[in-house]
Amino acid sequence: MDSPTIRRLRNDWQALGTTPASGDACHRLALCEPVVERLEAQTAEVVDALSPSSDRLSRNEAAAVIAAMLRSAQLDPLIPRAILQALIPGVLALSRRVDIAQGPWCALDAFYADAISALWELTTSWAGTDRPYAAGDLLSGVRTRLRTLLLSERRHRSRQGGDPDALDNLTASIGSTGEELLAAALDDAAGNRLKVADAAVLYATRVVGLSVAEVADLAGLPAGHLRRRRRYAINRLVAR
C-alpha cells in the first residue's frame, strides 16, 4: 500500500536514479564491489534488480548486493539513497507487523514517515560497516525503533487512563516512574558496580522495552550471551 511519503520517494528516485551523477556513483561502487560490477547496471537498474518482483537476482544474491552497497556507502551520497529505495518493500511490509493503531501515528503515512526516517538514520550510521545480512539488519533496526515508539505510546496511554494492568511491572514511587528509578540506578551503577555494557543490556530490556532478541540483533551478539549478562547485571544491581 502506497502513501504520500512512499510516492514522493519513488517519484524522486525516478528522476534521481537515472542522472549522470547516479551513473558515476554506480561506477565507483562497481570498482570496489564485484557483486555490483557483475550486474553491469546503472544505479536505478541495480535497485530494480533488488526488487522482490524481479527475477534477476536470487534472495541470497540480492542480500549480497545490499551488503556490498552498505559496506561502500561512504563512496557517494547516492549509495545510501539507493539502499533506502531498495528497502521500501521491506518498509511497507513492516506495517503488517506493527499494531499501528496502538502507536503514536495518526495515519499510515505518519508510520511510513517514521520508518523511512529510522531507515535513513541507520543506513547513514552503519555506512562503511560489513554486515552480511545488511537488509535484514536494517529492517530489524527500523522495526525495533518503531516498536519502541509503540511501547512508549502504550505506556503513556495507560498512565493517562489509570489502567494498572497495563502499567509497567516495575515498582513506581511518587514523582518517578519505575523506569526512571531503574534508569537512575543503572546510571549510578554503570562503571562502578556494573560494566557499562551490562548496564546497557538491562536498560534496553527493562527501560526501553526491547526484547533480548531485538537487542541481540542490534548489537550483533548472541541472545544467550546477552541473557547471561543481563542476569549478572541484575544480581550486581541488587547486591548490597
pLDDT digits (tens, 9 = 90+) for 69-109: 999 999 999 999 999 999 999 999 998 888 788 788 888 99
Q: What is residue 101's predicted lDDT score, i.e. its pLDDT? A: 81
pLDDT digits (tens, 9 = 90+) for 117-133: 999 999 999 999 999 99
Q: Which residue carries 531507515 as its cell? A: 119
Cell digits of residue 148: 519502541
Q: What is residue 63's predicted lDDT score, i.e. its pLDDT? A: 92
Q: What is residue 72's predicted lDDT score, i.e. its pLDDT? A: 95
Spans of all domains in the chain: 4-151, 168-238
Q: Write out residues in the chain with pLDDT < 70, as ranges.
A: 1, 156-194, 196, 206-209, 218, 237-240
Name the 3-class secondary structure at 194.
strand
Phi, psi of 239 (to 5 degrees): -70, 145
What residues are paired with 173 via a beta bridge? 176
What long-range pairs does 7-11 form, CB within 8 A, spacing at least 24? 9/84, 9/85, 9/88, 9/116, 10/85, 10/88
- CATH assignment, 168-238: 1.10.10
The Cα angle at residue 55 between residues 4 and 37, in degrees rounded to 5: 90
